[in-house]
Structure 1
Amino acid sequence: MYKIIVCDHIHQKGLDLLANQNDIDMQNLADLPKDELLKNLKDADVVITRSSTSVDEKFLSSIGKLKAIVRAGVGVDNIDIQNCSRKGIVVMNVPTANTIAAVELTITHILNAIRNFPSADSQLRIQRKWKREDWYGTELKGKKIGIIGFGNIGSRVGSRLKAFEMEVLAYDPYILPSKATDMGVIYTKNFEDILHCDIITIHTPKNEETKNIITATQIAKMKDGVILINCARGGLYNEEDLCNALKNKKIRWAGIDVFNKEPAIDNKLLDLDNIYVTPHIGANTLESQEKIAQEAAQSALEAARGANYPNALNLPIKETEIPKNIRCYLELTQKLGFFCAQSNKGAITSIHISAEGEISKYSNSLITFALVGAFKSSLEEGINYVNAQFLAKERGVDVRVHTKEVSNSYKNLVTITLTTAQESLSASGTVFDENIIKLTNINGFTVDIEPKGKMILFKNTDVPGVIGSVGNILAKHDINIADFRLGRNTNKEALAIILIDNQIPQQVIEELKNIPACLSIRSVTI
């Protein structure tokens, strides 16, 4: 059994996902005082935290065999990542579950700023005054907005503002210009261009490069009456300089959701009458909280089982060598290795990796992640990203990589062929938009399914009645089917991939084997 401890409150859907696993001992300790919580961490394999739990020296001195920390959200300001790395603890976050919530809050702040909705509401509802002449706003149509950071959130803000017929400029040195230009957005490498916009909004992480990216120096170059929005991280705008510019009306309005120090109940920005503020609620929608909890729980499950470390922030990868759009292929590669090793049990004799497309440039990293995934089932804690290639060589495993700059089928494609004394098994996968990982082929069978959860791989001769027989056996044992995907080949064979909610007993495996058309059956959990 793996132990996962939930340190802070998450949505019930996430708790249910953890509780419904036969190999997981989930303990929800969110209501415990923090001092009491620390006394219960010794046996934890993975913990899930939010901002209420500080992963500091005191926390890290309380752990025992902890292998991973999942931050149920984007920010990891409360986690000492450096010390976690020293202790061999992988730190993960959930970076995209609150994307739409943050995008829509940004749009809300922009609309509030140009039309003064909260102030107009207050004058009418609280002061009971009907003074329409006080509330002349401006229109977004034809205005120029500068977006600093054009990732998951910034790009979606841009697409929505295009619908308002705005001129949208994007500044982000870490994306391909085509990401912006394909959307009809102007891409600029010159930060000064952003400073000349009517409205400026920022969507970057907080680091040494972005902290105080807007100060008095930049504000002086802006248009008189500019509007500034920050729903990303506190400290990206210098608060002192922002406050002064709001006072002298150089900045006409500001919309701020995040602050240097939170809770920001004593922040002097709150005393100004030309700023709209919210208490860091970028992720506060019912939909995003549910997604965050489910994704955090799924990451914790994969980390506990050693299948993968989604969105890991401190794996031994040189950031300058692995662009953001490539990192999800490392996750895919490890999952393919883990999938193949579970499907083809036995002593591994060779692992061959094929990388097609842009990812072919990162073959060394792909090898490491493939080996970690492949050996995890047999070596458990003995395998890691540092020793993976050494252990493979020590065991005489033939490791090869084939690269091809252009893929014939997808933009990028990874294939792993894992050979044991029994057989060879190949699995291919790719990553679609929104970083959705998919298995695309298993031993020549075309498939389309996310590699996660409990899966049955049922290979059979392609004759009528097989699906019904499989369904009847599973139903008889009260095993619910969550998804069912079918692939066929030219040899009149079919491969069913069945996602189930329950652990499958050996008795059920035996009954499925006895179906006359059955050629093979495998069970995989990721």
Structure 2
Amino acid sequence: MHKIIVCDHIHQKGLDLLNNQDDIHVENLADLSKDELLNHLKDADVIITRSSTNVDDKLLASVGNLKAIVRAGVGVDNIDIENCSRKGIVVMNVPTANTIAAVELTMAHIINAVRNFPGADTQLRIQRKWKREDWYGTELKGKKLGIIGFGNIGSRVGARAKAFEMDVIAYDPYIFASKATDMGIGYTKDFQDILKCDIITIHTPKNEETKNIITAKEIAKMKEGVILINCARGGLYNEDDIYDALKSHKIRWAGIDVFGKEPGTDNKLLDLDNIYVTPHIGANTLESQEQIALQAAQAALEAARGASYPNALNLPVKETELPKCIKAYLELTQKLGFFCAQANKGAIASVHLSLEGEIAKYADSLKTFALVGVLKSSLGDNINYVNAQFIAKERGIDVLVKTKEHSNSYKNLITITLATTQESLSASGTVFGEDIIRLTNINGFNTDIEPKGRMILFKNTDVPGVIGNVGNILAKHNINIADFRLGRNAHKEALALIIIDNQIPENAITELRNIPACISVKNVTI
């Protein structure tokens, strides 16, 4: 018998699915205190959690031969994924069960913002006033909706907005334009086009690229009376800047379901009268809760039986099951993919993986890790080791793996070549000893550096004075250089890979681009 423990409350249909299995023993311990719960986990094969249970050192110390953890929902902020990986515990989530709920909540916020239903309801029902003249709204028909992030949720919001006869435009540098245009929706590569819209909504993961994607700088370029919606993740919009713009009515209305710090009961945005707020209820429909429970239960069953690990978010092996040097190459491969995707942003056309040396025998695993790295920056937690190859195929990405028994330069060498609609970029790396990871070549420029931290890639014509100019600009903006590696090619070009201690502001990037010898500047964080 396989043992599954349910740590938090899920819909009864999920419990019924678990209880109807002859080979599964289920314990629903959702009503226990979290301290008491720890005494019951030793024999569990799989546990199902929600946000109320923290999977931390304390919990992981209480388990025995736990195979997997299923998070009944999308977010995994309460799970120590790295520690789970060390212990060989697979972490899974349920990323699509609440899609429709989140889409419809977004539409509800949009409609409230143009018609002010809560205000009209309060005046009539609570104040018992009949003042129709107070409630002139605007129509969605003909208004321009800008969608930031055109994935599973954003594309469905676009389809519904089209049904309202809105003019819809999407910004997502990680999709092909045809995904939007085939739906009759405009597509732009220029974020500034989104800032010209009447209504703006965001549907992206939260990462370094999307955090504070809307600040006072972007708001200043928006229309007077713009409407902003965020039912995705707290922190995508800068809350202080949103507050100021709402007070000045530069932003006419905002619809917010998520906050940077939750619960958001003390958030100053709640003091304003031109904002609609909900307490992070994007997944709170009966249908989505039922689907979340069913999908979580099904994932737990498959994991308990060892059949598969749907939507696994981490490495599903124990440290002792792979040679240490191979694990280092898995890490290197994913980092190379992650590096290439940031340095060559755009809709991905192809990913070519070259493996030289003994590591070629691990081609299948390395291919998966390469794809996870390449797709991680755009898809966040939606990409994992189970679905990476399927998603690449679904997106029409040409994936090619070439192997060579021996390497001419190193014992083992990995090269990833990523082609987008913009350009092609290659990055190579190797491992010295068992775990010293090094980035050795970028587009033909030799280097020797650990792929870690904040990096600037500065390409220039190879003329005197460039390094001094770069150093002066970084010093001017109080950016400390931690490491500086320079490569040159036969075409009188140079590529500097600069490791910096703190984030570089956009105006410093602009100044670097204005150096006469500059060819390109790219910003990468690993």
Residue of structure 1 equivalent to 2:425: none
User: What is the distance in 1 between the residues matched to 2:194 and 2:120?
Assistant: 30
Alignment of 1:201 with 2:239, yes or no, is: no
Residue of structure 1 equivalent to 2:270: 270
User: What is the distance in 1 between the residues matched to 2:375 and 2:145?
Assistant: 30
Say if 1:226 and 1:327 are closer, same or farther in 2 by CA, change over 3 A. Answer: closer
Residue of structure 2 equivalent to 1:172: 172
User: What is the distance in 2 between the residues matched to 1:56 and 1:117?
Assistant: 43
Shift of 1:86: 2.2
Given that 1:233 and 1:259 are in contact with CA atoms closer than 8 Å, whether structure 2 keeps it comes out as yes
Given that 1:308 and 1:331 are in contact with CA atoms closer than 8 Å, whether structure 2 keeps it comes out as no
Residue of structure 1 equivalent to 2:149: 149
Give the SS at the match of 1:161: helix
What letter matches 1:82 in structure 2?
E
Residue of structure 1 equivalent to 2:77: 77
Unmatched runs of 5 consecutive residues or more in structure 1: 335-354, 365-526
What letter matches 1:68 in structure 2?
A
Give the SS at the match of 2:153: helix
Say if 1:357 and 1:208 are closer, same or farther in 2 by CA, change over 3 A. Answer: closer
Q: Scaled by the length of structure 1, what TM-score is found?
A: 0.62
Alignment of 1:104 with 2:104, yes or no, is: yes
Shift of 1:2: 1.4
Shift of 1:77: 1.5
Shift of 1:321: 3.8
User: What is the distance in 2 between the residues matched to 1:114 and 1:87?
Assistant: 51
Give the SS at the match of 1:320: helix
Q: Scaled by the length of structure 2, what TM-score is found?
A: 0.62
Residues 163-312 of structure 1: pairs in structure 2 closer than 5 A: 163-312=163-312
Alignment of 1:361 with 2:399, yes or no, is: yes
What letter matches 2:99 in structure 1?
T
Shift of 1:360: 6.7
Residue of structure 2 equivalent to 1:53: 53
User: What is the distance in 2 between the residues matched to 1:135 and 1:169?
Assistant: 28
What letter matches 1:141 in structure 2?
K
User: What is the distance in 1 between the residues matched to 2:384 and 2:209?
Assistant: 24
Given that 2:313 and 2:383 are in contact with CA atoms closer than 8 Å, whether structure 1 keeps it comes out as no
User: What is the distance in 2 between the residues matched to 1:127 and 1:71?
Assistant: 44
Shift of 1:14: 0.4
Unmatched runs of 5 consecutive residues or more in structure 2: 316-329, 331-368, 403-526
What letter matches 1:187 in structure 2?
Y
Given that 2:50 and 2:73 are in contact with CA atoms closer than 8 Å, whether structure 1 keeps it comes out as yes
Alignment of 1:320 with 2:411, yes or no, is: no
Alignment of 1:116 with 2:116, yes or no, is: yes
Say if 1:362 and 1:98 are closer, same or farther in 2 by CA, change over 3 A. Answer: farther
Shift of 1:42: 1.3
User: What is the distance in 1 between the residues matched to 2:112 and 2:387?
Assistant: 40
Say if 1:27 and 1:192 are closer, same or farther in 2 by CA, change over 3 A. Answer: same
User: What is the distance in 1 between the residues matched to 2:196 and 2:283?
Assistant: 30
Give the SS at the match of 1:169: strand
What letter matches 1:134 in structure 2?
D
What letter matches 1:191 in structure 2?
F
Say if 1:284 and 1:362 are closer, same or farther in 2 by CA, change over 3 A. Answer: farther
Given that 1:45 and 1:304 are in contact with CA atoms closer than 8 Å, whether structure 2 keeps it comes out as yes
Say if 1:143 and 1:328 are closer, same or farther in 2 by CA, change over 3 A. Answer: same
Shift of 1:33: 0.4
Residue of structure 1 equivalent to 2:18: 18
Q: Which 4+ stretches in 1 moved above 6 angstroms? A: 323-329
User: What is the distance in 1 between the residues matched to 2:75 and 2:388?
Assistant: 24
Say if 1:182 and 1:216 are closer, same or farther in 2 by CA, change over 3 A. Answer: same
What letter matches 1:46 in structure 2?
V
Residue of structure 2 equivalent to 1:481: none
Give the SS at the match of 1:361: strand
Given that 2:311 and 2:386 are in contact with CA atoms closer than 8 Å, whether structure 1 keeps it comes out as no
Given that 2:123 and 2:129 are in contact with CA atoms closer than 8 Å, whether structure 1 keeps it comes out as yes
Shift of 1:57: 2.0
User: What is the distance in 2 between the residues matched to 1:225 and 1:2?
Assistant: 58
Aligned length: 345
Say if 1:331 and 1:206 are closer, same or farther in 2 by CA, change over 3 A. Answer: closer
Say if 1:270 and 1:312 are closer, same or farther in 2 by CA, change over 3 A. Answer: same
Give the SS at the match of 2:399: helix
